[in-house]
Chain A
Amino acid sequence: MFSIPLILSAKLAFCTMMLIPILAFPPAYFLAFGSCRGKSILDALITLPMVIPPTVLGFGLLMLMTPSGAVGGAWQTMTGSRLIFSFSGILFASLIFNLPFAVQPLRASFEKLDKRLLESAAVLGLSPWQTFYRVILPNSISGIAASSILVFAHSLGEFGVILMVGGSIPGRTQVASIAIYEAVEAMRFDDALYMSATLVPVCFFFLVILNAINRRQQS
């Protein structure tokens, strides 16, 4: 019974981690290698979910994801089902608020790459796209790993945004952080303790790995 929210959290974190590269690679690439114009604006836009309160972000996402909202409407036209209060919905929200956490480490590792590598690739005839997946990606493995782990751990713990858009539906949107909050509110402290006792070591474990990667990257 208590394991359902934990499994759901893990599922959300895993799906976020797997999908976020699609969203994070293009801006990280542009921020690292792009020309100056528009760079600071894009940077600010991507970092925004990190600094605004989760409730504000959550409310904004709620408006976007309702059937009459831009994203929710488009989703309904494409899939025929509602985005709000669904797993896809919290996954979408999770992707948005994790974007800065994914982009920053990626960007840092792209920037650390020797520019001459890219020049070598260009002279050897590789198109920018080929350069990206044959040269940049293989040489940014630790940055990608750091970004993935950060995203995974952060999605496991995210609360505010999902509280706003989730609707706490068991098995679909009631992730561990929400279930713990509800258990505490309802004074079911044992349940809260059980779930926290599982969640905390898992997050700790991932952060230890993250630190190890970061240290290796620096040396």
Chain B
Amino acid sequence: MSADRVPALEVTGLTHGFGGRRALDGCSFTVPEGAVTALVGRNGAGKSTLMRAAAGLMQPDGGAVRVFGNPAGDATLTRIGYVAQQPSLYPMLTVAQTLALGHRLNPRWDTAYAHRLADNAAMPTRARVGALAPGHRTRLALIMALAKRPGLLLLDEPLAPLDPVARAEVTGILMADVADHGTTVLLSSHVIADIEGVCDHVVVMTGGQVRLATEVAPALDQHLVVVGAGNELDALGDTEIVTARTAGRDVTALVRAAEPLPDGVLAWHRPTLEELLLGYLRVAGPESPRKVTT
């Protein structure tokens, strides 16, 4: 993961609009090789559009996406395993036929791995894909993505359709794959419990813009959650306030500060991952300039 290695994914100034609405507005970040990165944002923040652009399935209005150094597109498809929110599978094929198709279409297809994963998921191999329950359909899409042996996995809310047992199983499978092959993963989610301990990097988006793109551990050390009465926050001086929320007399603010605050009026602690992400998720996007309060 050193700086001189080509990043698995490099997004530069990515901009895209649908009609008059800007879904992506100058997004830039990099995903180092071997990292497991969470793409976090509220509904409509632009996560899925960004995923599609990264997969090379969409031509953005502006900006660039590079996958292992090459422009995203047909040439990078073999190195990417992409699972959309609505997985694109052929409903008329059976599970077994779908896996056979994967073998024919992908040069690096790992048949033994595909079958092991299908067995683990108790996948009904003779059933038609169209008749599968949503959880099974998602697991089949994940198997297709993993057995391709991609360098970069792009997973758009992969755990959302899964029951709690399947969630735990799929997370275990993903992390074992990272351990075995050093696969780079970018997964979108808005469930913070799905991210804790899984992701070592995060990218937070609101209103089509990237608010935070960082490695998790150092970011926790570079922020403070500060609590005090409204006017007491003046004591922060020119410390950058990410967001502040008022509850009664008290204001709770997420601030950027590596150094602890001196003892005094303001109570503070280092944020948990949840506090850090919520703080950035509450940063208002340009198209919804509302004051963030309770």
Partners in one complex: no
